[in-house]
């Protein structure tokens, strides 16, 4: 095997055993492309952080961490790792089990609060509001992962709580951040 040889053998190296609805070859190819974009953006932002003014570096640090976590999680997904099989709740002809990538939720639990922190710092809202918004973001992500892992129609309850958390977060971000930045 040479370094110039191309190909994606992630699904044959890490097969989706025991899953009816699983990642396809084209899906894995797409996730490899997203991984490359995340890595490139991470490297560019990392180098830009060395040239940034000291007062602006905090934003570079926040987003480099988010990009690195995103690169790792997309690498895991593209490699067909970081998933579990979950029983489907619907009665459609999709099979009994589906593949859930918990790596995606790890990315969300790091990246979304990082964005909330950066928006809060930019708009000048209080630390109390920033921390409250971060916890609401975690509630949003955790209820969505609970919905993904629930095998009955009760998953929609978790989804509703998560969506309600998201609405609270959006209203807080739009209202308080806008008022504070004026």
Contact 15/61 with Cβ under 8 angstroms?
A: no
What's the chain's average pLDDT?
89
Instruction: Report the pLDDT value the prediction gives residue 27, as an integer from 0 to 100.
Output: 83
Model confidence at 5: pLDDT above 70: no
Residue 171 token pair = 């209203």
Phi, psi of 4, rounded to the nearest 5 degrees: -85, -10
Domain residues for the domain of 134 are 19-177
User: Per the domain annotation, does 4 fall within a domain?
Assistant: no
pLDDT of residue 17: 80
Write out pLDDT tens, residues 31-48.
999 999 999 999 999 999
Q: Is the pLDDT of residue 84 over 90?
A: no
Q: What is the pLDDT of residue 6?
A: 66
Is there a domain that residue 163 lies in? yes
Closest CA to 136 of 163, 102, 157, 158: 163
Residue 121: CATH number of its domain: 1.20.1070.10
- DSSP secondary structure string for all residues of 35-54: HHHHHHHHHHHHHHHHHS-G
Domain count, the chain: 1
93 occurs within a structural domain = yes
Q: Is residue 10 part of a domain?
A: no
Tell me: pLDDT of 1 over 60: no
Helices of type H across the chain? 10-13, 25-51, 57-78, 102-123, 127-149, 155-181
> What pLDDT, in 10s, does the model give residues 114-173?
999 999 998 899 999 999 999 999 999 999 999 999 988 899 999 999 999 999 999 999
What distance in Å separates the CA atoms of residue 173 and residue 56, rounded to the nearest whole number?
21
Domain assignment present for residue 169? The answer is: yes
Q: Is residue 8 part of a domain?
A: no
Instruction: Please indicate, yes or no, if residue 13 is contained in any of the structural domains.
Output: no
Inside any domain, residue 11: no
Q: What is the DSSP letter of 1?
A: -
% of the chain exceeding 90 in pLDDT = 59
């Amino acid at each position: 095997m040479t370094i110039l040889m191309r190909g994606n053998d992630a699904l044959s190296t890490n097969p989706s055993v025991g899953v009816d609805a699983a990642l396809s070859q084209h899906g894995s190819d797409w996730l490899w492309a997203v991984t490359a974009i995340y890595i490139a953006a991470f490297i560019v932002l990392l180098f830009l952080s060395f040239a940034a003014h000291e007062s602006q570096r905090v934003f570079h640090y926040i987003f480099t961490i988010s990009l690195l976590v995103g690169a790792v999680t997309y690498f895991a997904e593209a490699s067909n790792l970081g998933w579990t099989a979950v029983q489907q709740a619907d009665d459609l002809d999709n099979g009994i089990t589906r593949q859930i990538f918990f790596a995606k939720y790890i990315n969300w639990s790091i990246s979304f609060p990082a964005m909330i922190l950066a928006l809060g710092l930019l708009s000048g809202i209080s630390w109390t509001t920033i921390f409250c918004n971060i916890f609401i973001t975690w509630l949003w992500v955790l209820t969505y992962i609970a919905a993904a892992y629930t095998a009955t129609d009760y998953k929609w309850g978790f989804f509703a709580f998560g969506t309600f958390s998201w609405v609270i977060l959006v209203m807080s971000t739009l209202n308080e951040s806008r008022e504070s930045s004026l």
